[in-house]
Amino acid sequence: MDIIIDETLQEKYEKLKNYIKSLGSLAIAYSGGVDSTFLVKVAYDVLGDRVIAVTATSSTYPKRELNDAITFIKQVGAKHIVIESEELEIEGFNKNPVDRCYYCKKELFEKIWKVAKAHGIEYVADGSNFDDLNDFRPGMKAACELNVVSPLKVAGLTKEDIRKLSKELELPTWDKPAFACLSSRIPYGERITKEKLSMIEKAEEYLLGLGFKQVRVRYHQDKLARIEIGKDEMEKFLNIKLIESVRNKFKELGFLYITLDLEGYRTGSMNLSLNL
């Protein structure tokens, strides 16, 4: 498919395709997000049935994300394997240390490597992009240790680049809001449990069902919910009837206190306590 983009982005796009072609075969950690969806699409266009998309289900991964991932892969036609990966069973993970993501990614990539070897696939890839180099990403250490390649980073593609290319390729995720695992809603050092993750997932599902696009429900001690809404959606939230509905639903889910963060949604808000 021919796409219309500027020369610099075209060069990055070609670099990505050439790099993927040089790998020969890929097992891709596929979450259904903007980056991994784009990577799967391009890799499948280049390598065909030498690409496997691998999605891990767990209590930290919302069912809506899994359903979206399955739907897209069926449309593309790539091989899709769903595996189980329960992070809460990993020693050290549920204590929620600062390097929590390292433990999660290490187990994930080890399992994907098993899938890759079983299917004669030479490389395992993740969807990390060039912007991730400037963010706090403990999972990158696991990727490095397990020789996981990051084609989007190699090509120098930023999140904005990927959204532009995804739009040109008519991918449904081109404007999909950013997503991170549900564990990221809980402050470092506070124990992660299935009960908390379930409360968070149901609370976010409720807000999404009300029509909000970019939401986070941060879980703080004493069952306090801190709601982050996209700044362009804040005015919609400030409606007394809607506020009462949200309050009642969150109370029903088990939250004792419900607050709205006046700074709105922003990525990595839990990292503020780290003074990075």
Label residue 90 by pLDDT band (50, 70, 90).
confident
Whole-number pLDDT of residue 135:
66
Whole-number pLDDT of residue 86:
78
**CATH superfamily of domain region 7-168:** HUPs (3.40.50.620)
Q: Distance between CA 248 and CA 256 in Å, rounded?
A: 10
Whole-number pLDDT of residue 139:
74
Contacts for 15 with CB less than 8 Å, ≥ 6 apart: 154, 155, 156
State what percent of residues in the chain have pLDDT above 90: 73
- 181 catalytic? Reply is yes
Tell me the torsion sign for CA atoms 39, 44, 46, 51: positive
Whole-number pLDDT of residue 24:
97
Distance of CA 239 to the CA centre of its chain: 30
Q: Which CATH class is domain 182-274?
A: alpha beta
Instruction: Give per-residue burial for 183-197: e unless 16+ CB within 10 Å, then b.
Output: bbbbeeeeebeeebb
pLDDT at 10 over 90: yes
Active-site residue among 101, 104, 144, 181?
181
Whole-number pLDDT of residue 270:
62
Label residue 136 by pLDDT band (50, 70, 90).
low
Whole-number pLDDT of residue 112:
96
Whole-number pLDDT of residue 265:
92
What average pLDDT does the structure give for the chain?
A: 91
Class of residue 176 by CB neighbours under 10 A (exposed 0-12, middle 13-18, buried 19+):
middle
Q: Distance between CA 175 and CA 93 in Å, rounded?
A: 31
Q: Which of 11-20, 28-37, 56-65, 85-94 has the lowest mean pLDDT?
A: 85-94
Structural domain boundaries in the chain? 7-168, 182-274
Does pTM top 0.75 for this prediction? yes
Q: Distance between CA 30 and CA 137 in Å, rounded?
A: 17
User: Beta-carbon neighbour count of residue 219 at 10 Å?
Assistant: 22
Whole-number pLDDT of residue 180:
83
pLDDT at 249 over 80: yes
> pLDDT (tens digit, 9 = 90+) per residue, 151-203?
999 999 999 999 999 999 999 999 998 888 899 999 999 999 999 999 999 99
Distance of CA 23 to the CA centre of its chain: 24
